Amino acid sequence: MDLQKITDQVIVLVKEVGIYLKGEQHKITSEIIEKKGRNDFVTYVDKTAEQKLVDKLKEILPDAGFIAEEGTEIKKSEIYNWIIDPLDGTTNFIHGLKPYSISIALQKKEEIIIGVVYEVGLDECFTATKNGGAFLNGEKIFVSKTKELSESLIATGFPYYDYSRLPNFMKSLQYFIENTHGVRRFGTAATDLVYVACGRFEAYYEYGLQSWDVAAGTLIVQEAGGKVCDFSGGNNYIFGKEIIVGNSNVFDSFFAKIDGFYNI
Note the residues at the interface with Ca ion (CB under 5 A): 85, 88, 213
Nearer to ligand 2AM, 73 or 85 (CB): 85
Rounded to whole angstroms, the Cα distance separating 14 from 20 reads 10
Select the binding partner of residue 50 from ligand 2AM, Ca ion, none (C-beta < 5 to 8 A, by kind). Answer: none
In whole angstroms, the minimum distance from the beta carbon of 193 to ligand 2AM comes to 10
Long-range contacts of 131-135 (CB under 8 A, 24+ apart): 131/223, 132/3, 132/4, 132/223, 133/223, 133/224, 134/197, 134/198, 134/220, 134/221, 134/223, 134/224
In whole angstroms, the minimum distance from the beta carbon of 93 to ligand 2AM comes to 8
Question: Of the ranges 58-66, 82-90, 133-141, 223-231, which one interacts with ligand 2AM (CB under 6 A)?
Answer: 82-90
Please select the residue that binds ligand 2AM; options are 4, 39, 91, 179, rule is CB under 6 A: 91
Binding mask 131-170 for ligand 2AM (x = CB under 6 A): --------------------------x--x----------
Contact 106, 8 (CB under 8 A): no
E-strand ranges in the chain read 65-68, 80-88, 101-108, 111-119, 124-129, 134-136, 139-140, 153-156, 182-184, 203-207, 227-229, 242-246
**Range 174-189 burial, b when 16+ CB lie within 10 A, else e:** ebbeeebbebeebbbb
Q: Based on the shown chain and the rule CB under 6 A, indicate whether residue 25 belongs to the binding site for ligand 2AM.
A: no
Binding residues for ligand 2AM restricted to 192-251, rule: CB under 6 A: 206, 209, 213
Please select the residue that binds ligand 2AM; options are 65, 99, 187, 246, rule is CB under 6 A: 187
Which residues are CB-neighbours of 26 under 8 A, at least 6 positions away? none
> How do the residues of the chain divide into helix, strand and coil, expressed in percent and rounded to 5?
40, 25, 35
Question: Of the ranges 32-40, 171-179, 183-191, 235-243, which one interacts with ligand 2AM (CB under 6 A)?
Answer: 183-191
Torsion of CA 225, 98, 5, 128, to 10 degrees: 10
Nearer to ligand 2AM, 88 or 223 (CB): 88
Q: Based on the shown chain and the rule CB under 6 A, indicate whether residue 88 belongs to the binding site for ligand 2AM.
A: yes
Nearer to ligand 2AM, 6 or 89 (CB): 89
Select the binding partner of residue 157 from Ca ion, ligand 2AM, none (C-beta < 5 to 8 A, by kind). Answer: ligand 2AM
Please select the residue that binds ligand 2AM; options are 25, 144, 188, 211, rule is CB under 6 A: 188
Q: Based on the shown chain and the rule CB under 6 A, indicate whether residue 90 belongs to the binding site for ligand 2AM.
A: yes
Nearest residue by C-beta to ligand 2AM?
A: 157
Which residues are CB-neighbours of 245 under 8 A, at least 6 positions away? 193, 196, 203, 204, 205, 218, 221, 226, 227, 228, 251
- Number of shown-chain residues binding ligand 2AM (CB under 6 A): 14
Instruction: Please give the residue ranges that form the binding site for ligand 2AM (CB under 6 A).
Output: 69, 85, 88-91, 157, 160, 187-189, 206, 209, 213
